[in-house]
Amino acid sequence: MKKRNLSEFMCIEMLYDYKTGNLDSLRKQAVEESLQESPRAREELRKLTVGMSYTDKLQKTIVTQPLVDYILHQPKPTEKFFSKFRWDVFPQPVRWALESIVVAVAIALFVTQAPELFKAIGKKEEGGLVIKKFDIQSIEPKEGSRPEAPASKVAEKQAEPEKETLPTSKPLVMAPAPSAEPVAQPQTKPQEASQASAQVEAAEKKVKKGNAYLYRMVMQSTNVEGVTPQVVTLIQSLGGEKAGEVELGWRRKGGSYFHFSLPKVANQTFLDSLKKIGQFSISKTSHPRIMPEDKERFILWINELKPEGNHDQPGADENKTSTGASPEQNVPENMETD
Amino acid sequence: MNEAQIRSVALFFFYTFLDKDLALRATVEALRLIEKRIKGRGISDSRNPILVYSTFKIWKKYSKKKNLKLQNSEFTAEGWIVPGDLKMETWRQFVKEAESSLSLAVIWSKLLGFADKDIAEGLGQTEGSVRYRVGKGLKHLGYIASPSGGLG
């Protein structure tokens, strides 16, 4: 094999490997030969040797044990943070200020949230009232007891709005309390009693399943006098009955008022027929009073519009087009709609 | 982390920054990073490539903050004891003049005694690159340390 001489550049580049003994014997020999010929390579080797001897000295630098211990016992960043913000580290005025802020926030929260809380509790209690419907025919009347009204009527009375006592006030017949036993129950035989209780439960379930909502409607009309009888006739023809104490189409200042119940099946017919009489808006709102399953409750207010453009009643134009403006907004505020 | 590794990291930052407070702070942070990486990889004991990687990362971070005034650390005792016959001015000039890649390679390879393979793995480079840098760095250091270099 022909021997190849190294260039000066190659020799200089290989000096570190030569010095650290990482060259094979052939390369090592070639570098040594090149070193004899090149003074620059020799100078580079000298510098390398000096540098290595310097680093050998530098390597003897000692890291002391106290430093190692100090590094080993350095707290973590989280520990450092918490140690800085320890409660007892703060000056007394800062602590007082923080305490007062906490107390102020607590009071503010209590004052703002407590009414809501009590309100919620009140609602819960109100919701706990159970309306029971009794079938009077299945219960034998007790001697001396006075069957003033059928049970269905009693339940209806219970379902009637308490506020609607405007024209006349009839004596109300109270339904028996849920916890009280039925009037004639002690005299019934055990089997009849169980049947009666089953019927009561069934009736109760039926009532619970009923409609707990109300339709609120507002109609705008320039001819309330003419429209009111039409609407009364329509309601009555569809089997509707007044729901409150006032008669259907009760005239008040600025319009007429209808509070009635309607068979559920007649709902669509009623709405279609009412459209022919005039434009109206309707909204379905939840109501705690429960209606029988086959009936729905309506409150209709026919608002009287002046024949010419009337700017006193904001929202009149919107209601003409039934754009969904809230019907409650159009009903006079002093009206007991319920 | 064993004590030898802590000493290596402390030496690395002492030689690179030549500032005891900065070196101490960087050492603590680098050790935290090393522990984190060891936990992340699930390795029971740290290895030199992780040390190389972590020290390089913290060095990059602190080399930008080098001119910032740091609070004096609570550690007042002598942390690093340099051999009496050693001229630190030579090293100071080398760190100042030489490219950082050369000085770092010299520290890892010659002062801390890491294998070229570990350094290459830690930096994500080839062994040849590492050897070239170490050789070049040593020559530069030898030039400064020799009488003709002015400081010998």
Give me the residue label for tokens 């036993």.
A181
Residue B138 to residue A16, Cβ atoms within 8 A: yes
Q: What is the mean pLDDT of residues B44-52?
A: 76
Task: Give the Cα separation of A108 and A97 in Å (integer).
Answer: 16
Pair A162, A288: CB distance under 8 Å: no
A120-155 pLDDT, tens digit per residue, is 776 655 555 555 555 555 555 554 444 444 444 444
- The tokens for B55 are 């020290």
Q: What phi, psi does A286 have (nearest 5°)?
A: -75, 150
> Would you call B13 helix, strand, or coil by DSSP?
helix
pLDDT at B109: 94
pLDDT at A182: 45
- Those residues whose C-beta lies under 8 Å from the C-beta of residue A213, and which sit 6 or more positions away, are A284, A285, A286, A287, A296, A297
Nearest Cβ partner for B7 among A16, A17, A63:
A63
Q: Does A16 touch chain B (CB under 8 A)?
A: yes
> In DSSP terms, which residues pair with A219 in a beta bridge?
A280, A302
B110-134 pLDDT, tens digit per residue, is 999 999 999 999 999 999 999 999 9
Rg (C-alpha) for chain B, rounded Å, is: 16
Chain B residues close to A39, C-beta within 8 Å:
none
- The tokens for A19 are 């010095």
Q: Does B139 touch chain A (CB under 8 A)?
A: yes
Chain A residues close to B31, C-beta within 8 Å:
71
Q: Does B147 touch chain A (CB under 8 A)?
A: no
Residue with more model confidence, A206 or B35: B35
Mean pLDDT of chain A: 73
Q: What is the mean pLDDT of residues B30-34?
A: 89
pTM: 0.49
338 residues of chain A, pLDDT tens digit each:
556 678 989 999 999 999 999 899 989 999 999 999 899 999 999 999 999 999 999 988 888 888 888 888 877 777 767 777 777 777 888 889 999 999 999 999 999 888 887 777 766 555 555 555 555 555 555 544 444 444 444 445 454 444 444 444 444 444 444 444 444 444 445 566 667 666 666 655 555 555 678 899 999 888 888 889 999 999 989 989 888 888 888 888 889 999 999 898 888 899 999 888 888 889 888 888 888 888 889 999 998 887 764 444 444 443 433 434 344 444 544 444 44
pLDDT at A3: 63
Chain B residues close to A56, C-beta within 8 Å:
110
Chain B residues close to A49, C-beta within 8 Å:
142
Alpha helices (runs of H) in chain A, residue ranges in sequence order: 8-13, 15-20, 25-37, 39-58, 65-72, 77-84, 92-127, 151-159, 190-209, 224-237, 267-277, 316-320, 327-330
The β-bridge relationship of strands A211-221 and A295-304 is parallel
pLDDT at A41: 92
Determine the residue of chain B that is closest to A64 in CA distance. B79
A224 burial (CB, 10 Å; 0-12 / 13-18 / 19+) is buried
A252-289 pLDDT, tens digit per residue, is 888 999 999 989 888 889 999 988 888 888 988 888 88
Task: Give the Cα separation of A280 and A330 in Å (integer).
Answer: 11
Residue A16 to residue B11, Cβ atoms within 8 A: no
Residue B27 to residue A68, Cβ atoms within 8 A: no
B53-80 pLDDT, tens digit per residue, is 999 999 998 887 655 555 556 666 678 8
